[in-house]
């Protein structure tokens, strides 16, 4: 993962205050990986243990529930894969091993929610000789807007995959020391869209 991510993540997480619903005394039951510490998550990642699936499942379930329960929301993390979220959580948990894993997930999702999709968006297959990356048309439009803002040649930000977008992504990747494949992969999307400075 990029150095920028690892350096900016503590600030991102620190700025996101977790919102919680609970009983009258502020208590609630945690299940699965959320009930353990960041230190346990870090150890599961280090060992590549089967327990890692417990944390993956917690993250996926948390995001799904948050999508359901957050007003004006279709997808809180519209381009971030579970693998990227786990990478970001790993960086945070390395620095704060005493933190509860559920609290870390809450803070991360809250921090990322400003860029959420507020309504449904069709999936688009971004293709190059290297493969296909599925993403929401709205995310592709954001990619095109970000490329245009950086003066890359993309005639229109319309959320449709085209040769201009692929070539602009290749140039962006080359100029930012990313693997050049012309696809909006996770590293490219992070470098282009993540608003962490």
> What tens digit of pLDDT does each residue of 103-141 get?
999 999 999 988 999 999 999 999 999 999 999 999 999
Q: Assign residue 65 a region: left if phi > 0, alpha if psi is -120 to 50, beta otherwise?
A: alpha
Could you give the number of structural domains in the chain?
A: 2
Quickly state the pLDDT bin for 21 (edges 50, 70, 90): low
pLDDT at 28: 63
Q: Virtual CA dihedral for 17, 68, 57, 11, nearest 10 degrees?
A: -20
pLDDT at 48: 82
Position with higher pLDDT, 4 vs 122: 122
DSSP label at 113? G
Residues 133, 107 share a domain: no
pLDDT at 34: 75
Domain holding 158, by residue range, is: 123-193
pLDDT at 16: 46
For residue 67, pLDDT over 70 is answered with: yes
Residues 29, 95 share a domain: yes
pLDDT tens-digit map of 132-190: 999 999 999 999 999 999 999 998 999 999 999 999 999 999 999 999 999 999 999 99
Residues 67, 159 share a domain: no
pLDDT at 20: 55
Residues 81, 50 share a domain: yes
Residue where a domain stops, chosen among 115, 150, 165: 115
Residue 118, classed as helix, strand or coil, is coil
Residues 106, 10 share a domain: yes
Residues 104, 128 share a domain: no
pTM value is 0.80
Query: Residue 177 belongs to a domain with what CATH number?
Result: 1.10.101
Give whole-number Cα distances, 170 to 43, 176, 197, in Å.
36, 10, 23
- What mean pLDDT, rounded, does the chain reach? 86
pLDDT at 35: 75
Distance spanning both ends of the chain, measured CA to CA: 16
Length reported for the chain:
197
């Amino acid at each position: 993962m990029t150095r920028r991510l690892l350096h900016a993540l503590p600030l991102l997480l620190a700025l996101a205050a977790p919102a919680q619903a609970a009983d009258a005394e502020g208590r609630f039951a945690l299940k699965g990986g959320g009930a353990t510490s960041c230190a346990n998550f870090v150890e599961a990642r280090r060992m590549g243990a089967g327990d890692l699936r417990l944390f993956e499942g917690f993250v996926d379930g948390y995001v799904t529930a948050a999508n359901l329960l957050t007003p004006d929301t279709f997808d809180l993390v519209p381009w971030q894969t579970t693998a990227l979220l786990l990478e970001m959580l790993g960086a945070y948990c390395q620095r704060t091993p005493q933190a509860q894993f559920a609290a870390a997930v809450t803070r991360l999702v809250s921090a990322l929610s400003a860029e959420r999709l507020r309504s449904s968006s069709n999936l688009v297959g971004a293709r190059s000789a290297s493969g296909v990356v599925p993403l929401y048309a709205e995310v592709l439009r954001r990619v095109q807007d970000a490329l245009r803002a950086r003066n890359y040649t993309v005639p229109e930000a319309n959320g449709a995959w085209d040769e201009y977008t692929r070539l602009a992504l290749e140039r962006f990747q080359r100029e930012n020391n990313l693997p050049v494949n012309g696809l909006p992969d996770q590293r490219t999307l992070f470098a282009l869209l993540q608003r962490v400075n």
